[in-house]
Structures are given as C-alpha cells and as structure tokens.
Amino acid sequence: MHPQWLRLMSTLAALLLLSTPAPLLAEPIRITITSGSVSFNPNVGEGGDLRLNGTNGFSVTGFPELGNTDPHCCLTPGTSTSMRGRWSSNDLPATVTLGDDTFTNVGDLNSSNQLEVDFRSTTFTLPPIESSRSTAVTAPFTLTGSFRGTPGNGPRDPDG
C-alpha cells in the first residue's frame, strides 16, 4: 500500500473515531416538592394515593403497594412513635411528569421508568382517642426519593 493511501486511511479512521457520538449522561435535576399527600396502612405497607407536586413541572400520581412501613400494630395513646413509609420499583406504580414530558408505566418491571420515595416523620406522642375512635396527628417529616426514566412507557434496553 502506498504511504499516501496509508496516511489517508489513518486520517479517515481518526476522523471516524472523533466523530462517533459519546453516550449522553443526564445530570441530576434537583426537585423541591411544594405540595402533596400520601396515605397508607403501616401494618401492611399498603397505601392509598400518593400525590406530589414540585418545581420544574414535576408531579407524581402513584399508588403505593406493599412497601416498608412503620410503626406496626398496636400502639396506645401516650406512646412515642414515628411514621415511615418507603416504596420503590413495582411497589409504586405511578405516572410522573417532568416539564413537558410524561413518564408512564412507572414501577413496571419491564420499564426503565422507576421511582423511589421515603417518608420519615419526627417522633411524636400519640394523643388520646376521642369518642369518634379516630384522631388526626400532624408531625413534621422528610421526604427523599429518586426517579429515573425515559418519556413514555420507558421501554427497557434489551442489551442492558
């Protein structure tokens, strides 16, 4: 092979390597939750509705299923305790929006769209139960979590 062809082939190979796009990695987006609610039965970890709204057009509508929750059965008035609820993966089917994108199929094992939330209250003392046999307790709490996904149903990459 002539040196000119060898040099041309080397130059083309270098250009091809330099022009190959690198995989894109998304930078984490910090979201501040501005409102929301969750209800769950700490004895079994099952929930009702989870609704969160936050900055950057973030919202979650989910349905917590079996998760990791506390306290468990049989607390009495005057007992100090805290509430905790944690759900992730298929324990938290949901729909998430972020900006103009909607992520469905969240929590499905065949989807890349996955959500995790962890609520933890401060310690509080259970009040006496009034004659209605029901009472409300309000306590500060923290919420941490993560979400990753692809807009739409979040199809899994068959290679990964």
**CA distances for 125 relative to 43, 70, 77, 111, 128, angstroms:** 18, 15, 8, 41, 10
CB 91 within 8 A of CB 149: no
Query: What is residue 131's predicted lDDT score, i.e. its pLDDT?
Result: 66
The model's pLDDT over 68-121, given as tens digits with 9 standing for 90+, comes to 888 877 788 888 989 888 999 999 999 999 999 999 999 998 999 999 999 899
How does pLDDT run across 30-70, given as a tens digit for each residue?
A: 899 999 988 877 777 677 789 999 999 999 999 998 888 88
Question: What is the predicted pLDDT for the residue at 26?
Answer: 67
The 8-class DSSP code of residue 83 comes to: -
What's the pLDDT band for 159 if we cut at 50, 70, 90?
low
Number of H helices, E strands in the chain: 1, 11
Amino acid at residue number 56: N
The neighbour count for residue 73, using CB atoms within 10 Å, is 7
How far does Cα 96 stand from its chain's mean position? Answer: 9
pLDDT (mean) for 132-154: 85
- Cα distance between residue 134 and residue 131, in whole Å: 8
Pairing of strands 114-121, 101-106: unpaired
Report the sign of the C-alpha dihedral through residues 116, 73, 36, 80, in that order: negative
pLDDT tens digits, 83-92:
888 999 999 9
pTM confidence score: 0.73
Residue 19 in this model has a pLDDT that exceeds 50: no
Provide the pLDDT confidence category of residue 25 given band limits of 50, 70 and 90: low
Tokens of 156: 């899994």
User: Which carries the bigger pLDDT value, residue 119 or residue 12?
Assistant: 119
Contacts of 91 (CB under 8 A, 6+ apart): 45, 64, 65, 66, 67, 107
Domain boundaries, the chain: 30-146
Question: Exposed e or buried b for every residue in 8-38, given b needs 16+ CB within 10 A?
Answer: eeeeeeeeeeeeeeeeeeeeeeebebeebeb
